[in-house]
């Protein structure tokens, strides 16, 4: 018989293919790295956050004080000049349009305050 039987060759190739497909993802994520240790000084206390509320009507309150657009720009600019690392904690009502929140964020960034956190309430967990 002068022909080569290809069946065993194909079987071996398929087994190798499956082995490589199974082991390749494990090899990529199995890299172990031991990071160097360094003495890092403790971070100081961050500046007090600036609490900003936006109610359903779109009125902005800074530290529970209602401000119009001009007063808001002035208050944010003064805070940025005094403490540029101030974090704004933005609490917006669920009925406030996204555009109003984006407008406030633009005003805050223009004033020089870059750290803005959006505060939400934890969703109730379903009971088993």
Domains of the chain from N-terminus onward: 50-118 (3.30.420.270)
- The answer to whether the pTM exceeds 0.85 is no
DSSP 10-52: HHHHHHHHHHHHHHHHHHHHT----PPP---PPPPPPPPPEEE
Structural contact between residues 52 and 60, judged by C-beta atoms closer than 8 angstroms: yes
The span from the CA of 54 to the CA of 65, in Å, is 11
The span from the CA of 99 to the CA of 97, in Å, is 5
Give the phi and the psi of residue 116 in degrees, each rounded to 5: -125, 120
The span from the CA of 45 to the CA of 61, in Å, is 25
**Residues 69-121: pLDDT tens digits?**
899 999 999 999 998 888 998 888 888 888 998 999 999 999 999 899 888 77
**Residues 35-82: pLDDT tens digits?**
456 555 555 555 688 888 888 888 888 888 888 989 999 999 999 999
């Amino acid at each position: 018989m002068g022909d080569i039987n290809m069946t065993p060759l194909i079987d071996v190739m398929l087994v190798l293919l499956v082995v490589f497909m199974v082991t390749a993802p494990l090899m990529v994520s199995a890299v172990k790295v031991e990071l160097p240790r360094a003495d890092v000084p403790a971070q100081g206390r961050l500046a007090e956050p600036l609490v900003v509320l936006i109610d359903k009507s779109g009125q902005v309150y800074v530290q529970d004080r209602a401000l119009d657009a001009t007063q808001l720009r002035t208050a944010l600019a003064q805070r940025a000049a005094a403490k540029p690392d101030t974090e704004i904690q933005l609490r917006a009502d669920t009925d406030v349009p996204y555009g109003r929140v984006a407008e406030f964020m633009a005003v805050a960034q223009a004033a020089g305050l870059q750290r803005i956190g959006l505060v939400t309430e934890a969703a109730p967990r379903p009971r088993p």
